[in-house]
Chain A
Amino acid sequence: MYVCLCRGVTEAKARELGEAGYISASSLAAALRLNDDDCCGRCLREIEPLLAIACGACPRRPAALVRAAAN
C-alpha cells in the first residue's frame, strides 16, 4: 500500500531504502522529503510502520533489533 500519498511512497520504496541502510526515522523522513511543506504532516507523524518496514529490509539489522524498532 501507499504509506505516504503526498509523495507517492509505497511499502516497496520503504523496503528499498531499508536495504540501502535508511533505518532511522530522521534519515527516512529526509530521504522521502516527509518533512517539508508539500507533505501533509500526517505521513511524518505516522512514520513508525514505514520505519518497521525499512528496518525489516535492512541486511545489517539483526532480527531482535528489528522487532524492538517495530514496538
Chain B
Amino acid sequence: MRAKEGVLDLLNAMLTIELTAINQYFVQAAMFRAWGYDRLAEHVRALSLDEMKDAAELIDHILYLEGIPNMQRLGRVAVGENVPECLQLDLETEREAVQTLVGAITHCTQVGDFTTRKKFEAMIEDEETHVDWFETQLDTIGQVGIENYLAQQIH
C-alpha cells in the first residue's frame, strides 16, 4: 500500500527515536548493573526491550507502506555519569517521543491515514507510562534522598 503524504517521514522520525532509546536504555542498564543497582538495571533493560518492540512495529509498517526503514540514523544517545543524571536524560527522551507522536497523530488525521494513526496512538499510551515512570523515580529521589533510593535498588 502506498503511504499518504508525509507519513513515511513521521514513521522514520519515530523509528530514529526508538532506535536511540533502545541503545540509551541498554547501555544505562549495563552501567546500573556495573554499579550494583540490579533492580533499577532490570527495569531499564525491560524498557529497552519495550522500545525494540516499538521499533519492530514501525519497521513492519514502513515496509507495508512501501517505504525504507531508516536504520542508519540515530539521535544523540544521552548517558549521564550517575543515576539521577541518567534518569533525567531518559525523561527528556520520553517527553520528546510523546511530543513527536502528538504531531504524528495530528498529521495522520489531516491526511486521513487512520491505520497509522491507530499505531501511533497505541505507542503514545506506552510512552506516557514511560514518562510517568521516570517522573516517579525522580520525585521519589527528591523525597527520600538519593542514598535511600539507591539502597533500594541493590537486590
Binding site for B on A (CB under 8 A): 1-2, 5, 10-12, 42, 46
**Complex-state Cα separation, A10 to B82, whole angstroms:** 12
Q: Which residues of A contact B80 (CB under 8 A)?
A: 1-2
Any chain A CB within 8 A of the CB of B85?
yes
Query: Are A42 and B89 interface neighbours, CB within 8 A?
Result: no
Interface size on B, residues (CB 8 A): 8
How long is the Cα–Cα vector from A12 to B81 in the complex, in angstroms?
A: 10
Q: B81: which of A10, A42, A46 is its contact (CB, 8 Å)?
A: A10
The total of interchain contacts (Cβ-Cβ below 8 angstroms) comes to: 17
Does A1 contact B85, Cβ atoms closer than 8 Å?
yes
Residue of A nearest to B75 (CB): A42
**B79 interface hit (Cβ, 8 Å):** yes
Residues of B within 8 A of A2 (CB): 78-81
| Whole-angstrom distance between the Cβ of B5 and the nearest chain A Cβ | 29
A10 to B85, CA, bound (A): 12
Interface of B is mostly: loop
Question: B79 and A1: CB pair below 8 A?
Answer: yes
Contact partner of A46 (CB less than 8 A), chosen from B76, B85, B89, is B76
Apart from A1-B79, A11-B81, what are 15 other A-B pairs with CB-CB below 8 Å? A1-B78, A1-B80, A1-B81, A1-B85, A1-B89, A2-B78, A2-B79, A2-B80, A2-B81, A5-B77, A5-B79, A10-B81, A12-B81, A42-B76, A46-B76
Most buried by A among B76, B79, B81: B76
Identity of the chain B residue whose Cβ is nearest the Cβ of A43 in the assembled complex: B76
Q: In chain A, what residue has the closest Cβ to B88?
A: A1
Which residues of chain A have C-beta atoms less than 8 A from B89's C-beta? Answer: 1
Residue of B nearest to A1 (CB): B80
CA of A11 to CA of B85 in the docked complex: distance in angstroms?
12
